Structure 1
Amino acid sequence: MLGDIKPKEATAVINSLLGGVVPKIGVQHIAVGRSAEVNAFLNALEDVKNGHSMVKFWIGDFGAGKSFMMHLLNTVAIKQKFVVANADFTPENRLYATDGKAVALYSAIIDNIAIQTKPEGGALPVLLEKWIEQTITRTAQEKGLSPDAIRETANLPLVRDAIMRTLNNLTEVGGFDFGQVMTRYYEGYITEDELLRKNALRWLKGEYRSKVEARQDLGVREIINDLNYYDMLKNFCKLFVSIGYSGFMINLDEAINLYKISTGAMREKNYEKILSIYNDCFQGKVTNLFVNFAGTREFLENERRGLFSYQALKSRLETNKFETAGVRDFAQPVLRLMPLSHTEIFVLLQHLKQIFDFNYKVSVDITDDDIQLFMEDMFNKPGAHEFLTPREVIRDFLNVLSVLRQNPSLDKRQLISDIEIKDERPAENSLQNIEEI
């Protein structure tokens, strides 16, 4: 049943879930009850591969599996040769700002870029060097030079001109400075000047805060900031496609933090940015880009603070009137994540038991009957209906396995019955704790 799980994936799954977070790798081995959503997503990926762009909103209650879904989408998209990136909205990361919070989100996206050979993230240098090697090879062929000759210092200008010419044709807004920095990265790469390469990478990741410093280090006039970061993401998308990738997928989780922005004007500006991205993707202004947002029902539906408070978004994101619990429309922009059934949770816990045993090279004495007992005990406890989430069920189950692995003589039935249900939902008054600075 485990299939081809790798030891590294098993360790990531167990350690992450014990810590209450979604693993970055290996999520496909614990994907249960989401086959319809994944199939719809695969169809959408095909459209994006063919030059379209897409925006999806994954909506569910706290603990319903939104973050898990984002990581599962990453795994699926990487196998379809997409470049993917995950980032979370926080009080310090948002889509629109004037104080560096938008470029902070951009930096998080770029830091987390992942590809099949680097699924954990940090893949930007690999992609840049792959593109540079392709440009070097193409220039050598055009100029009739050998692979060794084109790398000589005397021929630096030939490749530099090719980089600028290619990126000028490829990019739109900000293309000149983007090209300048790419040539500097190329020079550092060829001459093994690590400082120059590091500075170029720093600019591309949006980490310069001063134009003066960037000009001194790289000779460029502009830096990536709150106003132009989205143009740079589109430039990267085109660059990745030119390398040979299917497209660029960006997953933005914890969208409730946009809902929590206390100043109405600033919240609206962030929703305007979502509308701009939505319109760009569905009107064909950008190609091969897939953006996913994950948030709660409040983030979407609240008429005072949520996306539905912004009329232009409400009209685009309202649910298909013909959809029911039994008849789903997975083609619409909003996909609501339904809670896992008890049967699906049972299968999930079976998978986790196998992964746990594989990871620790043991066989913990927990049978299918024990899993059934664990579930009955959990779901029948006081407060379970209100407070129990899949995240807590998973963590408690793994905690039971962990204790029994180290203390096999313990009474497992007593251990299960001692578990208490806690309310892990965010405090209702958390909105009052966030101030606009």
Structure 2
Amino acid sequence: MITNIKPKEATAIVNSLIGGVVPKIGVQHITVGRSAEVDAFIQALEDVKNGHSIVKFWIGEFGSGKSFMLHLLNTVALKQKFVVANADFTPDNRLYANDGKGLALYAAIMDNVAIQTKPEGGALPTLLDKWIEQIMMETAQSNQISLADIRDQKHADLIKSNIMKTVNEITEVGGFDFGWVIMKYFEGFSIGNEQLKRNALKWLKGEYHTKTEARQDLDVRDIINDLNYYDMLKNFTKLFVSIGYSGFMINLDEAINLYKISTAAMREKNYEKILSIYNDCFQGKVEHLFINFAGTKEVLENPRRGLFSYHALKSRLETNKFETAEIRDFAQPVIRLMPLNHNEIFVLLQKLREVFDFNYQISVNVSDDEIQQFMEELFNKPGANEFLTPREVIRDFLNILNIIRQNPGVDKQRLFGSITIKDERPNESLLADIEEL
């Protein structure tokens, strides 16, 4: 029996999974078969809380649950008081670029910043407001000013001085401009100038594309760009920790889009950036940062285009040679996601039926025996062993529940028998070869 699920979560689960995507919220209610991975992840979060930084690579076949796993990690990290953010690599978003594509990735990350009270993203203004309130309280206490009086404009310079002092303590590269823009945000905050706050947020989120425009709006010298955005992520990590959060976790999905970069030189530059981030985290050059990458086995191991084509990464990411399918090592940087077995899929479908019933406030007429029949029909289809993924199983099952909900007298056996299997997996090698031609 699923407990403590909210109506908003149930709707997100049903609608997202029918659409073939992972819901942003509620995934913990339908998680099965990943307890060992989650336990190891919680231990890693403790290390990051204590000042370490970690990079993990979540590797699995197409449709095997990589994106689902990242969203589950989000839920766990939010409960551990982490700030989290998700972004997908796309043809226009990458780690290294000289044409704005690195900045586009940064903007996507900052746009999706989430905290436990705002798990769907867009939490950056909330975090900045909370931090400013914190600075104001500290300023009031240290100067024996009442909390009611500290908001008076006569104390604004005192607060600004403390803001800049704190920013100087937590920032490195680009700290002056970062601090200047945060002070502009405070000015907007203190006098109720929403446009000034929006301009400051626009700069902090990497949405200015020319220095001229930023100078006109904020009187700032520089902007966030392809070359300095990673430094800004490190600055934000320190800022979030200074507010009282455990750290900053960033999930980067769809690594296939780095693998598919058509020019070898640019692809290598992106892998070099991964190596730089990896070294920063494991050599202690950055604290309280947790970065997760998700991709397929081909993205990791392909000797011509994958991460293993970059020798320095290959030496760091090769699997523990003592690991087997039965004896796992979840402490290593690469975590291979094993497919769910049939028992786990059965439990998953039971959970989905409960969420579906809760969402529509009904009791859909599908028994456990009929779930078994659905699975037998599906897994016995030609091509099931080769092509069937959990994503397809889930989508087919929810589509059948929707048909039964709207057509109570429908013949369920006929519905089960009408299922077809098709190969939805992208041929990554072929796609990459085509792009290179």
SS at the partner of 2:250?
Answer: strand
The aligned residue for residue 310 of structure 2 is 310
Deviation at 1:161, TM superposition (A): 1.2
The aligned residue for residue 52 of structure 1 is 52
The aligned residue for residue 431 of structure 2 is 430
Deviation at 1:433, TM superposition (A): 5.7
Q: Deviations over 1:111-135 (max 9, x none)?
A: 1011110000000000000000000
SS at the partner of 1:314?
Answer: helix
The aligned residue for residue 195 of structure 1 is 195
The aligned residue for residue 127 of structure 2 is 127
CA contact (8 A) 1:33 1:344 kept: yes
**Separation (CA, whole Å) in 1 of partners of 2:419 and 2:64:** 21
The one-letter amino acid of 2:334's match is V
Q: Deviations over 1:301-323 (max 9, x none)?
A: 01110110001000000000000
Query: What are the equivalent positions in structure 2 for 1:317-396 lying under 5 Å apart?
Result: 317-396=317-396
Query: What are the equivalent positions in structure 2 for 1:395-410 lying under 5 Å apart?
Result: 395-410=395-410
Report % sequence identity.
73
Deviation at 1:227, TM superposition (A): 0.2
CA contact (8 A) 1:91 1:434 kept: no
**Separation (CA, whole Å) in 1 of partners of 2:204 and 2:183:** 12
**Separation (CA, whole Å) in 2 of partners of 1:130 and 1:195:** 19
Deviation at 1:169, TM superposition (A): 1.0
Deviation at 1:294, TM superposition (A): 0.2
**Separation (CA, whole Å) in 2 of partners of 1:222 and 1:143:** 34
SS at the partner of 1:423?
Answer: coil
SS at the partner of 1:403?
Answer: helix
CA contact (8 A) 1:58 1:295 kept: yes
**Separation (CA, whole Å) in 2 of partners of 1:281 and 1:92:** 26
Q: Deviations over 1:11-54 (max 9, x none)?
A: 11001001000000000001100000000000100000111000
The aligned residue for residue 177 of structure 1 is 177
SS at the partner of 2:240?
Answer: helix
Deviation at 1:148, TM superposition (A): 2.6
Deviation at 1:146, TM superposition (A): 1.6
* Runs of 4+, deviation exceeding 4 Å: 432-436
**Separation (CA, whole Å) in 1 of partners of 2:182 and 2:149:** 21
Query: What are the equivalent positions in structure 2 for 1:222-371 lying under 5 Å apart?
Result: 222-371=222-371
The one-letter amino acid of 1:43's match is Q
User: Aligned-pair RMSD on alpha carbons?
Assistant: 1.1
Q: Deviations over 1:81-119 (max 9, x none)?
A: 000000000000000000000010000000101111000
**Separation (CA, whole Å) in 2 of partners of 1:124 and 1:54:** 23
Residue ranges of structure 2 left out of the alignment (5+ in a row): none
**Separation (CA, whole Å) in 2 of partners of 1:387 and 1:105:** 32
Q: Deviations over 1:230-256 (max 9, x none)?
A: 000000000000000000000000001
SS at the partner of 1:56?
Answer: strand
Deviation at 1:427, TM superposition (A): 4.2
The aligned residue for residue 153 of structure 1 is 153
The one-letter amino acid of 1:125's match is P
SS at the partner of 1:249?
Answer: strand
Q: TM-score, normalised by structure 2?
A: 0.98
SS at the partner of 1:55?
Answer: strand
SS at the partner of 1:86?
Answer: strand
**Separation (CA, whole Å) in 2 of partners of 1:402 and 1:165:** 58
**Separation (CA, whole Å) in 2 of partners of 1:251 and 1:352:** 25
**Separation (CA, whole Å) in 2 of partners of 1:164 and 1:401:** 57
Deviation at 1:423, TM superposition (A): 1.3
CA contact (8 A) 1:112 1:122 kept: yes
**Separation (CA, whole Å) in 2 of partners of 1:339 and 1:311:** 28
**Separation (CA, whole Å) in 1 of partners of 2:64 and 2:192:** 48
